[in-house]
Structure 1
Amino acid sequence: MKRFVLLLLLIGLFGQVNFAQQTRTYPKADISFLVLGDFGRQGEYHQKEVAKQMAITGTEADIDFIITTGDNIYPKGVASALDPIWKSSFEDIYTGHSLHVNWYPVLGNHDYAGNPQAEIEYSQISRRWNMPARYYSQSFKLSDGSELLIAFLDTSPFELSYFKDDDEPFRKNVISQDTLAQKKWFTELMSKSKARWKIAVGHHPLETSGPRMDRVNHVANSWKSLLNDLGIDFYLAGHEHHLEYNQLGPSLHHIISGAGSKITPLKSQNKAKFAKSTNGFAAFFVQAKTLEFHLIDENGQTIFSRHIKK
């Protein structure tokens, strides 16, 4: 009997050791961050499961901040900066210690269906929600003194179909924005910058393997050539509810991270280097001359990664 008990204790001990060895490791980085999209559903549709794995990855990778690719709150954004849905769809879901870093959001079409200005105003209430305007930029220093520059775009006003939407408040919100001014701002920002890495974030993808793949892509028509011409390294998007990677030019890499809650089936994977209809998020690890990203599912497993050198 004593030997049996001792055997159980040894099994338990080795089990704990093996479990500890399963801790995931990520690349060393000057700057690391997560990318999440299409998520705010009051914890439903696996939102909580994704949040849990984000917290684990955030701890293991020691992340610096989090980017959202829009559709932050479903179904129709928020009514005000004091809307209770902020608590049920954001504050009460992303509770992990590592997730209490700066969040840099963009607006999606569902955010435009509510009060998009209130998402900017929420920056004055939440210590981690940082959205100074509908489009803006952030820069980060790397270890050799070079720079990572990220531009956060407002892409809904570039989707021409929204100008005919039956929802009048939504339609007016979109029409009210000056798209020429935004493109001028972006062009000047990127043209003048000497940043080593340049990333743009918007809600709408330039290409997709999802349900919208055969639709006219007004956002791509307006932005794809410009992003290539300006030497942008990455365009991060959501809108389609899956994880996807593709390359759209000599140096333009394209990520869809829109799987923060409800997912949708893929339509075709023929053009994508990787696409999967699964809940999850992306993680980026940036150094002066290398960048690595992982697409991570709701179980915390890296399902695709790519290492890029400059």
Structure 2
Amino acid sequence: MPDTHFEPFVHLVDLTSDRALIAWGGFWFRCDDPDGRWRVVGDSELHEVDAGRNGSMGARSQTYGEALVEVLDPAGRLVADSRTDTANHVWVDGLEPDTEYRYRITVDGRPWAEGPRMDWGPVPRGGLDLRPGGRSYSMKFRTHPPADVAAPLAFAVLGDYGIGILADVESSRRQRRVADVLDRLTENPGIRLVIATGDNVYASAGRRGPEGSGDHDADWYGSFYQPYRYALARLPVYPAVGNHDTSDEESSDHRDQIRDNFHTDARFSPEVAGARASVDPGLFYRFAFGADVEFVCIDTSLADSLPTKHFFEHRRHSAFLDEAFPEGPGPRWRIPFSHHPVYCAGPHHPNTGSMIDHLVPLFARSGVRTAFAGHEHNFQLSQVGGIHYFLTGAGGQLREEVPNGFAEAMTTAWAAQAHLLLASIDGGSMTVTPLTALRPDGEPEAMTPQAPEGVVVEVPFVVAAPDRPVVR
């Protein structure tokens, strides 16, 4: 038998004010090549190293055994626990709002993912390989504030991650640099969640063995689980569906993979979310953070199965959109996010006319001041009708050509740099800072965007909440 290694992972999938959705899994590796390097075992080969297994992580993965998840307070006292022997994820209930906890997982009586981990990275002989990473999981979280309390919020926005970090190529290095920023923000300023603006998985470059198009767990290792590994143990990610996550631009529809790896059935099904979600087909949902903030995910992918071009145009989702963007008082910050942008200067994608026609009037009537999207592989800011439209589509993918539609998109700032956004809300003010990498001192490096005419634009960008009554 070739040498094999199993590397366990943990995933804090979701949080509310009183519960947490915690998942676990892992990836098998083989060292069976003459060069002595490791490779991720593909889904079709898993049964060779783990009998009966055809999935590594996610909601549909075969159970690894009888599991116990325990949540403890900072003093180490047990607060709540939950067991399962049928899945690799579980909700833990009975938590207090806006409270710090730590957690631990045992499977068949053995600690899961305890101690220093093996990570993918540079090795002395050159290139990248599986090697001791020198880090252990920090398995802790802080629940969301109660629904009737206004609380400050710092969060990250990230889109179009890229082709993974397995290959020693510049696109992989870009994604790794941005992932390092996310890791840093988890500690300082202590962001509470991540908004993902789509194109969550591509075929993972550098993966040897059976090829996939992004619809295999092995692709998710290099593109999602390993790059953001230590942040995922502490932060929930709220996904939007991108064109590379569906059959819009690839032969394989990865929507089932989104459903699996983001556990959307356990988070956004009618039984769980009620009127806060509209799914199957499409993925629309909304969630609150305290009294002041509500996020709304809009599915802008093509709707091959419906008699419309985009999912948001179909009447089956009209009731959700009407309720999500009502006229009159509401939360101070109502923040839509999607993959496709409303306004886009290119160079590859223009404005999305159907979004301007169908969604912008809803945004305007409900007091939206900020919207986030991806799709174009650069950074852009358009300011139209009192709304700041941030485009962040270069989490790893990057398009360096100069956009050619600044006037049509009413662009005020742009940059061709890989990045994520750090957004901070405190009362009636939001700041948004694009960050590109870590400086030698370990602090995040801010992007230097420019106006269409080439003048440097100062960051952070500051957005003011609408001046109107709010409901708390």
1:52 matched to which residue of 2? Answer: 180
Q: C-alpha distance in 1, partners of 2:260/2:178?
A: 26
Is 1:179–2:314 an aligned residue pair? yes
Is 1:207–2:336 an aligned residue pair? no
Q: Secondary structure at the match of 2:367?
A: coil
2:394 matched to which residue of 1? Answer: 259
1:104 matched to which residue of 2? Answer: 238
Confirm or deny: 8 A CA contact 2:370 2:463 kept in the other structure.
no
Higher relative contact order (CA closer than 8 Å, sequence separation 6+) = 1
Confirm or deny: 8 A CA contact 1:120 1:131 kept in the other structure.
no
TM-score w.r.t. length of structure 1: 0.75
Change (3 A) 1:131 1:277: farther
Structure 1 residue 119: Cα displacement: 0.9
Q: C-alpha distance in 2, partners of 1:290/1:222?
A: 27
1:149 matched to which residue of 2? Answer: 294
1:65 matched to which residue of 2? Answer: 193
Change (3 A) 1:215 1:199: closer
Is 1:277–2:416 an aligned residue pair? yes
AA partner of residue 292 (structure 2): E
Unaligned runs of 5+ in 2: 1-150, 204-211, 248-252, 270-278, 439-443, 448-458, 466-472
1:167 matched to which residue of 2? Answer: none
Structure 1 residue 272: Cα displacement: 1.5
2:220 matched to which residue of 1? Answer: 86
Q: Secondary structure at the match of 2:359?
A: helix
Q: C-alpha distance in 1, partners of 2:262/2:369?
A: 28
Change (3 A) 1:283 1:99: farther
Residue deviations 1:173-213, cap 9 Å, x none?
88795722223312212217621110000111111122245
Q: C-alpha distance in 2, partners of 1:175/1:208?
A: 19
Of structures 1 and 2, the larger Rg is shown by 2
Q: Secondary structure at the match of 2:188?
A: helix
Confirm or deny: 8 A CA contact 1:147 1:195 kept in the other structure.
yes
Q: C-alpha distance in 2, partners of 1:37/1:79?
A: 18
Paired residues in the alignment total 261
Change (3 A) 1:73 1:30: same
Note the 1:111-260 alignment, pairs <5 A: 111-113=245-247, 114-124=253-263, 133=279, 134-141=283-290, 146-157=291-302, 171-172=304-305, 177=311, 179-191=314-326, 194-214=330-350, 217-250=353-386, 252-260=387-395
Structure 1 residue 99: Cα displacement: 6.6
**For 1:298, which of 431, 437, 442 is the aligned residue?**
437
Confirm or deny: 8 A CA contact 2:325 2:363 kept in the other structure.
no
Q: C-alpha distance in 1, partners of 2:436/2:255?
A: 29
- Judging by fraction of residues, say which structure has more strand: 2
Q: Secondary structure at the match of 1:298?
A: strand
Confirm or deny: 8 A CA contact 2:239 2:262 kept in the other structure.
no
Q: C-alpha distance in 1, partners of 2:163/2:326?
A: 38
- Judging by fraction of residues, say which structure has more helix: 1
Change (3 A) 1:259 1:187: same
Confirm or deny: 8 A CA contact 1:58 1:99 kept in the other structure.
no
Change (3 A) 1:37 1:131: farther
Confirm or deny: 8 A CA contact 2:158 2:196 kept in the other structure.
yes
Q: C-alpha distance in 1, partners of 2:154/2:334?
A: 15
1:5 matched to which residue of 2? Answer: none
Paired-residue identity, %:
21
Q: Secondary structure at the match of 2:463?
A: strand
Change (3 A) 1:155 1:97: closer
2:462 matched to which residue of 1? Answer: 307
Structure 1 residue 221: Cα displacement: 3.0
Q: C-alpha distance in 1, partners of 2:370/2:381?
A: 10
Q: Secondary structure at the match of 2:229?
A: coil
Q: C-alpha distance in 2, partners of 1:176/1:153?
A: 10
Confirm or deny: 8 A CA contact 2:343 2:350 kept in the other structure.
no
